[in-house]
Structure 1
Amino acid sequence: DFRKILEQIGEHPIIVRSSSMLEDNFGLAFSGKYQSVFLCNQGDLETRLSHFLMGLKKVFASTFGPDPILYRRDHGLLDYDERMAMVVQKVVGRRFGDYFFPFAAGVMFSRNVYAWHPKINKEAGLVRLVHGLGTRAVDRVGSDYPRMIPLSHPQLRPEVTADQVQRYSQKQVDVLNLKTGGLETIDFRRLAAEVKHPELFYAVSLQHHDHLAPPLFKTQALAGQELCLTFDNLLSKTPFVQLARTILSRVEGAYGRPVDIEFAWDAETFYLLQCRSLSVRKEQRSVAMPGDVSRERVFFTMKSSLSNSVALDLEYIVYVDPKAYDRLPTYDAKMKIAAVVNLLNKQLAGRRYVLMGPGRWGSNDINLGVRVTYSNINKTRLLIEIAFAKEGGTPEVSYGTHFFQDLVEADITVASLFPDEAGNVFDERFVLNAENLLGTMAPEAKDCEEVVRVVNIPAVRNGEYLHVYMDASSGKGIGFFGPRQDGTPGSDQNDADFRVPGLESEL
C-alpha cells in the first residue's frame, strides 16, 4: 500500500526511478531514456500520495517516449516485452531553510577515457562531481562545468591558470525547494551566502587577484570572499578519493566488467545510488596517423583528440554554421534548427555522414549548442563540436553524461574542434562554398539554408570521401579528402604513405 510506504518515509524528499526489464543490462544501459521524478514529499499524507501517484505515472509513461523506442529499435529490441517497475529512494541530503540537497553528488567510472595528460592511468577511473544534486553531473547543462577527477591523479586538472579554473567551474547548483515543491537551480554564490553550509570548507577555493587556493582552516571566514567550486580540500583532506577507488574496484570485480556508479556524498558518508555496466568504446590501441596529405586535401586538424578512432568513407557533411546559429534571434528559431537536424538524421539513415555544429550538442541551453536528443542524431557516424575562440565558449567535456553514453553505445565518435587554436586547420570555406543540398533533401527546411548546410562530398570532390583519423596518445586528429577505402583503414591506401608537408609537426 502506497500510504504505508509514505508513512514510513515521512516528510522526506524522495525520487521515483525507473527500473525496467531491459534497463542497466550489460551493454544496454538505457541511460537517461526513462524518466526519474523528484518529489519534495511535504504536507499531509493525502497530498503526498497524490504527488506520488503522479510521479509513478510520469515514470511509467516515459516507457513510450521516442528516445527509448528508437534506442530499442537501434539495438534490435522492439519485439521484446519491455515492462516497467519503479524504485523509490529517499533523496540523500540535508535541509537548509527551504532548500534540500547533498553536499556533493555525481557519477564515477571504473574506466577513464578522458585522459588529457599522459600521467593519467585510465584503469584507475574518473569521477564527475558537482555540489548539490547530481542532476548537473549526468545531464549536459548550460554554461556550467562539473569537476572532472582522474582517480590516479585527483589533483590534476586540464585547466592551468586560476582564470581558467574559475571559468570552467560549477556556477549553478540544483536543489529541491521544499517551499515551492520542485527542483530548482540556484546561483552558487547566492546559495553559499544564504545557506552557510557547514562543509563549504571542502568545496571551495578562494580567489585573490590571479591566485586561487583552498582555505587552510575550517574556521577561516568565507563570507564575502570570491569563492570558486574546486573541491580541492575534499580530495586532499577526506577519504573520498580512496573510497571511490575501492568502491569502483570491488564493484567492477563483482560485475566482471567496467561500471559506472551514481553516488552522493554528505556528512562525510558515501552513498551509492545506482550502478550499471559501463559502455566502453572498442578502440584500437593506437592509430597510425596518415602522413603525406597535401594541404589542399586537408579539411581539419585537431590537437585535442581523446579517443583512438578512424571514420572512413564519410559521404555527407551536415554543417550547422556556429556563427549563423549564434545570430538567430529567438528561441523558436534555434529550436527549429534542432528539428532540421532531426529531419536530416532520418533522411541520411544508412548513409555515412558527419554532423558538425556549435559548442555543445545536446545542451539544455540553446545558446550554447543545438538541443538534440539521442533520437535526433543516432544515425550519424561522427559528431564534431566546434568552438571559435571569439565566441568565448568551448565544447563541454561530455564524458559521463547520459548523452555521451548514448553516443558510445551507438558507436558514434565525438570530437572537439578549435579552429582558432594555434596549429589547427579548418577549411570552413569548403562547406560554405559547396552546393547546399538542404532545400533538395528537405524542402520544408529551405528557409534554414543560411544556418544548416548539407554537402555531398563525392559530388564536390570528384569522387573523393572524407576520412578522419584520431589518436588519443598524441592527441592528434585529421580529417582529409581521399579515394574511397570501403570502410576499412588502409584497404586502398597505405597509412605509412601519407605525410602532411608542413603539417606533421603541427598535428
Structure 2
Amino acid sequence: LNAPDKQVPGNRDDPGKFTQKKIDLIDINANSFTTVSFRDLFDSLVSTGFLEMVTTKDLGKAEMLARRNRPGIAAYHISFKGILQGTNLVSNLRVMLDAIENAYGTPVDVEFTANFDSKGGYRLNLLQCRPFQVRMDAREITPIDGTNTGVPFLHTQGPIIGPSMSSHPGVLIMVRPKVFGRLAPRQRFAIARAIGKITHHPEISSRTIMILGPGRWGTSTVSLGIPVTFAEIQNVSIIGEIAEMHDGLIPDVSLGTHFFNDLVEMNMIYFAVYPGKKGYMLDVAPLEAMENQVSRYLQGDSLVENAIIVLEFMNDENVRIAGVNKKEHRKDPRAKYILGIFMDTLKQEGRCYLLRR
C-alpha cells in the first residue's frame, strides 16, 4: 500500500509482458470455481464497463495493431489502475489496517475482498487478520573492524529487514544473475534444489550462511527469482536479493514477503541491492576471482557449478565451527580472506567487504 501505482516490471517493447494473464473466478452458471484467461474475459469486461477499471491500454501498441488490422485486445494488460487510482480503496485499506494495528498493538496481515460495481462503488469485506511477530530489538551498531582497508563488493541503502548485524559469516552462496537469467524453468528449479542441498550439508549447515541471488528467493514464478522453499534455506542467516536478472527483465524484489513470519521467528536479516542505482553497488569481480567451493558439495553437476558460487571463509570462529585444525587452517586458501558484513536496520545502510587476513 505504500506504492500502489508500482507496476510489474516489463520492458519498453511490452510493458505488460509479465503482468497477470489468468483470473480465478466463480462460474455461476456451472456452479464451480474455474480459471479463465484474460482474453476470454475481455468481451465481458467491455460489455459490463469494467475494462478501464482493471486494465491499462498501451496506446503505441494499439496504433501498431490497428495499422496491421489485428485485434486490439493485445494492447491491454491487467493493472487495476482504475481501481487503485480512480477510487478510494487504497486510502480505506490504510485506515482499516491502522485501526486493526492499533487494536492489536502490532502490525497485521489481512485477507479481504472488494466487490465493485461499474461506477466505482464497492463493498469491502475483511475476511481474516493475522498479527505479525515483530522483534523490537533494533539498535545502532558499530561497523566491523577493517572496513576501511577491505575490498568492498556490495553497498545497499535498503530495504533492510531484521536485526542489525556486524559480523563475519563463514559461507557465501551466490547465484550468478546473468547465468541464472538464461536458464530454462526446469533448470532454475534444479538450482533451487541445489541451494537446499548446499545449505543442509553437514560441513555448512551449522555455520553463518549468507545467500545472494537474482530476483525473489522463494518465488513460485521462476521467471521472477529462485524457487526455493523456506525449508531449503532455513539454515541461512542473511538473505540478499539482487534486482537484476537479464536485459529483458529487472525483477521486483520480494521484501521478504514470501516468508516474512519465518524471517522474524528465525532472526534472519533480509536486504535488497539495486545494481546501477544511486546509493547501491554490487561488484562480483572480487567474488569471481576467489576459488569456487561448490564442487566440494555438489560434484559432477556442470549446470550448478556454472550458476552457483560457494565461498568459504575461515576466520577463527568459523574454524572452530567447521572443526578445522587451528594450526593448519591458515594454509587453507579459504583463510586468505574474511567476509565482513555490516547491516544497519535503523539507518537502512548495509555494506559487505572482503577483508584480507
- Flag whether TM exceeds 0.5 (same fold): yes
Structure 2 Cα separation of the partners of residues 408 and 416 of structure 1: 17
The structure-2 alpha-carbon separation of the partners of 1:483 and 1:252, relative to structure 1 and needing over 3 Å to count, comes to farther
- Give the total of aligned pairs: 318
SS of 2:222's partner is: coil
Which residue in the other structure is 1:449 paired with?
A: 305
Q: One-letter code of the match for 1:364? A: S
Q: C-alpha distance in 2, partners of 1:189/1:286? A: 53
| Structure 1 counterpart of 2:107 | 258
Distance 1:472 1:189 in 2: 46
Q: Does the alignment pair 1:310 with 2:160?
A: no
Give RMSD over aligned pairs.
4.0
Amino acid at match of 1:257: T
Aligned match for 2:284, one of 428, 433, 451: 428
CA deviations over 1:39-73 (Å, ceiling 9, x no partner): xxxxxxxxxxxxxxxxxxxxxxxxxxxxxxxxxxx
Q: CA deviation at 1:208?
A: 3.8
- Match for residue 240 of structure 1? 89
Conservation of the 8 A alpha-carbon contact between 1:437 and 1:454: yes
- CA–CA separation in structure 1 for the residues paired with 2:8 and 2:137: 26
Change (3 A) 1:350 1:177: same
How far residue 265 of structure 1 moved from its aligned partner, in angstroms, is 0.4
**TM-score, normalised with respect to structure 2:** 0.71
Q: Residues 329-388 of structure 1: CA distance to partner in whole angstroms, max 9, x if unpaired? A: 561x33222221111121232210111122222222324322111101111111122244
Indicate conservation of the 8 Å contact 1:283/1:307, yes or no. Answer: no
Report the CA distance between 1:193 and its aligned residue: 3.8
Residue of structure 2 aligned with 1:462, choices 329, 336, 348:
336
Does the 8 A contact of 1:287 with 1:470 survive in 2?
yes
Instruction: Note if contact 2:169-2:340 (Cα within 8 Å) is conserved in structure 1.
Output: yes
| Whole-Å separation in 2 of the counterparts to 1:464 and 1:398 | 29
Question: Following superposition of structure 1 onto structure 2, how do residues 18-417 of structure 1 map, counting pairs within 5 Å?
Answer: 126=1, 148-149=3-4, 157=6, 166=15, 170-176=19-25, 178=27, 183-184=34-35, 186=37, 188=38, 191-196=41-46, 197-209=48-60, 226-227=75-76, 229-235=78-84, 237-267=86-116, 268-280=122-134, 282=136, 284=138, 293-294=147-148, 296-307=150-161, 309-329=164-184, 331=186, 333-347=187-201, 348-388=204-244, 390-399=246-255, 401-417=257-273
- Structure 2 counterpart SS, 1:450: helix
Instruction: Indicate how the Cα distance of structure 1 residues 416 and 298 shifts in structure 2: closer, same or farther if over 3 A, else same.
Output: same
Contact 1:398/1:404 (8 A) holds in 2: no
Q: Does the 8 A contact of 2:54 with 2:82 survive in 1? A: yes
The answer to whether the Cα contact below 8 Å between 2:211 and 2:239 also exists between their aligned partners in 1 is yes
> Shift in Å at residue 435 of structure 1?
2.0
Identity %: 24
Is the Cα–Cα contact under 8 Å of residues 388 and 420 in structure 1 kept in the other structure? no
SS at match of 1:271: strand
Return the alpha-carbon distance in structure 1 between the equivalents of residues 138 and 25 of structure 2: 44
Is the CA contact 2:212–2:240 (under 8 Å) kept in the aligned structure 1?
yes
Deviations along 1:464-489, whole A, 9 cap, x unmatched? Answer: 2321324565x5431113489xxxxx
Task: Return the alpha-carbon distance in structure 1 between the equivalents of residues 311 and 114 of structure 2.
Answer: 48
Mapped to 2, the partners of 1:232 and 1:398 lie a distance apart of: 21
1:380-415 deviation digits (Å, cap 9, x = unpaired): 111122244743323424248443333333222222
Q: Pick which of 351-360 and 455-464 moved more.
A: 455-464
Structure-1 residue corresponding to 2:320: none
Who is 1:503 aligned against?
A: none
Shift of 1:319: 1.6
Give the corresponding residue for 2:67: none
Q: What CA distance in whole angstroms lies between the structure 1 residues aligned with 2:265 and 2:205?
A: 17
8 Å CA contact 1:207–1:226 kept in 2: the answer is yes
Q: Is the 8 A contact 1:307 1:472 kept in 2?
A: no
Equivalent residue for 1:62? Answer: none
